[in-house]
């Protein structure tokens, strides 16, 4: 307990500086804005703002990017409740009952329930990170190269299984990401691989070009192709912002259960906020004494998914910071930001950079407090922003994307790569392929190759090392069982039904 308090003291000493509080505020403000406005998305926003972290302290940059991520989970509920336009995928479920509460004149109560449930879930999830991440890091210290390789196989397997659409398409997209990750100079042999003798590719494909292309500019193209309808004036009655005693009694246990579900699913690779919000809503509907009230303005239908998606958003940091394994596209982008600053995600972060790890954990408490302040008093401002036409936003978005990518390498090839990946991302979207497995393959591919070679060097070329080490064998068995389970007709139909819903 004393160690935990000492570590948190280290964290708050770094995160509670005026500069970092300002970065946390900017991140939470941008995240809320992104969550409120449909059509922008948190992944493209984080991808586009990565270049801004180049010239600032790594902790400040991560605090801002993390604030955008979990801030978007808060902001997404505002538009979902008031106008049934969820700005974030995790808020889709909140719109079901939240909008019905607003139609009944209980918009203020619905927003309060969403904000309080989110704050509670974020606080509990941060406690879980502070309490369990160091222990998990000690377990991770037992891992060898073969174990890390098998862990990444399991992580990618779960990401593929939980990806929307065809599993075979997800595998194909991931393998393409692997190939892009191989471009550059081979560390072991010093030979060039797929560089076409271009010096600009010796260090590999730009992470910013592939991330901003696949997520940032593709969203611009898609929103111009299928524009959101412009809203007229929105009238909301927020005078009664306090929930009734009956609404609190209905929402409180749902928020607790949603926090638990989100905290567990957030840790799993491929899980995170979206899966958590759907799972918690389904659980509440099954446990409810009056399931018919769901879809008609049940407070539990607002509290559970909001608590789940915020808990899932924050506990998804655990595998990244302790194992160096990104559990979703946002974590892959944050991992890229850490690598740009020369920080290797994994067990070394806690031992070698405790001020970074604990500073990021402490900033989550600060960020959750700032988000409560931002989401209730400023509801009127967020609602007015919903009336802005996307045609006024996309020129600025494109400009920031081009400046950010060009600033990294300072050559025209980066811009050409950005255009190529934008085209590739658009083609993937038209083929109903998610780009997330590609970015995970791009990040984890070189790491898997490195650990594979290292393991084979230790074993003198004996591949049995992957099944003779207990940790590696257990992880590979889990990956195989997961693949076999998804091939079962019943589970496959259930998976398709969930995504269809």
3-state SS string for 233-248: CCCCCCCCCCCCHHHH
Burial of 220 (0-12, 13-18, 19+ CB in 10 A): buried
User: Which DSSP state fits 345?
Assistant: -
pLDDT given at position 59: 86
pLDDT given at position 448: 83
Instruction: Quote the CA–CA distance of 159 and 87 in Å, as a whole number.
Output: 23
CB 386 within 8 A of CB 83: yes
User: Which DSSP state fits 271?
Assistant: -
pLDDT given at position 233: 47
Closest CA to 301 of 318, 314, 287, 313: 287
Residues listed for the chain: 501
pLDDT given at position 268: 67
pLDDT given at position 22: 92
Q: Give the contacts of 279 (CB within 8 A, at least 6 positions apart).
A: 261, 265, 308
pLDDT given at position 390: 62
Q: Residue 185: helix, strand or coil by DSSP?
A: strand
Q: What is the pTM of this model?
A: 0.68
CB 73 within 8 A of CB 315: no
pLDDT single digits (tens) 409-421: 667 788 888 888 8
- The domain locations on the chain are 2-500
CB 473 within 8 A of CB 149: no
Tell me phi and psi for residue 193, to 5 degrees: -130, 115
pLDDT given at position 384: 63
pLDDT given at position 232: 47
Low-confidence ranges of the chain (pLDDT < 50): 231-234, 237-238
């Amino acid at each position: 307990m004393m160690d935990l308090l000492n570590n948190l003291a280290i964290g708050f000493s770094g995160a509670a500086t005026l500069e970092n509080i300002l970065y946390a505020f900017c991140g939470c403000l941008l995240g809320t804005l992104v969550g409120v406005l449909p059509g922008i998305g948190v992944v493209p926003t984080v991808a586009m703002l990565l270049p801004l972290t180049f010239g600032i302290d790594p902790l400040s940059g991560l605090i801002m990017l993390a604030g955008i991520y979990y801030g978007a989970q808060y902001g997404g509920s505002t538009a979902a409740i008031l106008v049934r336009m969820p700005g974030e995928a995790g808020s889709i479920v909140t719109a079901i009952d939240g909008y019905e509460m607003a139609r009944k004149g209980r918009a203020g109560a619905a927003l309060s329930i969403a904000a309080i449930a989110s704050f509670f879930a974020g606080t509990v999830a941060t406690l879980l990170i502070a309490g369990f991440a160091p222990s998990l890091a000690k377990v991770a210290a037992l891992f060898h190269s073969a174990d890390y390789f098998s862990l990444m196989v399991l992580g990618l397997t779960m990401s593929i299984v939980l990806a929307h659409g065809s599993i075979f398409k997800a595998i194909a997209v991931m393998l393409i990401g692997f190939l892009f990750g191989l471009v550059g100079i081979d560390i072991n042999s010093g030979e060039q691989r797929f560089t076409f003798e271009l010096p600009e590719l010796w260090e590999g494909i730009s992470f910013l070009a592939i991330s901003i292309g696949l997520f940032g500019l593709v969203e611009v193209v898609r929103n111009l192709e299928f524009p959101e309808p412009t809203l007229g004036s929105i009238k909301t009655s927020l005078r009664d912002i306090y929930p009734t005693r009956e609404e609190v009694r209905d929402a409180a246990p749902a928020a607790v259960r949603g926090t638990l579900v989100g905290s567990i699913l957030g840790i799993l690779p491929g899980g995170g906020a979206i899966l958590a919000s759907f799972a918690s809503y389904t659980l509440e509907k099954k446990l409810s004494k009056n399931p018919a009230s769901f879809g008609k303005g049940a407070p539990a239908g607002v509290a559970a998914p909001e608590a789940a998606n915020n808990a899932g958003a924050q506990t998804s940091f655990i595998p990244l910071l302790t194992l160096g394994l990104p559990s979703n596209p946002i974590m892959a982008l944050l991992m890229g930001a850490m690598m740009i600053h020369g920080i290797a995600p994994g067990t070394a972060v806690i031992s070698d950079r405790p001020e970074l790890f604990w500073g990021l954990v402490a900033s989550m408490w600060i960020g959750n407090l700032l988000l409560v302040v931002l989401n209730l008093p400023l509801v009127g401002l967020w609602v007015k922003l919903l009336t802005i036409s996307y045609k006024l936003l996309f020129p600025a978005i494109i400009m920031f994307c081009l400046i950010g990518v060009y600033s990294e390498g300072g050559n025209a090839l980066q811009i050409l790569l950005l255009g190529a990946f934008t085209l590739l991302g658009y083609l993937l979207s038209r083929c109903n392929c998610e780009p997330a497995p590609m970015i995970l393959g791009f990040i984890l591919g070189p790491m898997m190759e490195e650990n594979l070679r290292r393991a084979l060097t230790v074993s003198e070329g004996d591949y049995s090392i992957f099944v003779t080490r207990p940790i590696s064998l257990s992880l590979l068995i889990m990956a195989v069982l997961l693949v076999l389970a998804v091939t079962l007709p019943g589970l496959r139909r259930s998976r398709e039904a969930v995504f269809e819903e």
